[in-house]
Amino acid sequence: MHELSIVSSIVDTVTESLAAYPGARVKEVRLRVGALAAVVEDSLRFCYGVATLGTPLAGSDLVVTKLPVVLHCQACGKDGEIESVQSFRCPRCGEPSMDVRQGRELEIEAIEIDDAEVDA
């Protein structure tokens, strides 16, 4: 499953980032997902719940920011968001374009952590 391998790499990346914060727990992971990343959000959430069990990410929230596809149009020289990934045309002048400037992202935007309480 595509989403499971994505989540596994998120868990790896976050766990590595936490190396500098021993005992820290993750509260929230924010992802930026482009419309062309071919990610099913429900599936991603399901996999996240399963794959984070027993890791410092267990119980944390996954916040997904979806990014629309932005094309650069040669004809009018502008960048514009397209309405549908079925039609790669400039929203201003209607010229076809395959010059994708945004929409393929699949990246961690931020990780929010809570330092673990230390027993005296």
- The residues binding Zn ion (CB under 5 A) are 73, 75-76, 90, 92-93, 95
> Is the Cα dihedral 60, 3, 7, 113 positive or negative?
negative
Residue 57 vs 73, nearer CB to Zn ion: 73
Residue 56 vs 80, nearer CB to Zn ion: 80
Residue 92 vs 101, nearer CB to Zn ion: 92
CB of 73 to Zn ion, least distance (A): 3
| Residues pairing with 62 in the sheet | 29
Reading the block at residue 118, the tokens are 């230390």
Sheet containing 79-81: order of strands: 79-81, 70-72, 100-102
CB of 77 to Zn ion, least distance (A): 7
CB of 35 to Zn ion, least distance (A): 19
Residue 27 vs 92, nearer CB to Zn ion: 92
Amino acid occupying residue 28: E
Q: Kindly state the greatest CA–CA separation across the chain.
A: 67
- Rounded to an integer, what distance in angstroms lies between the CA atom of residue 115 and that of residue 5? 28
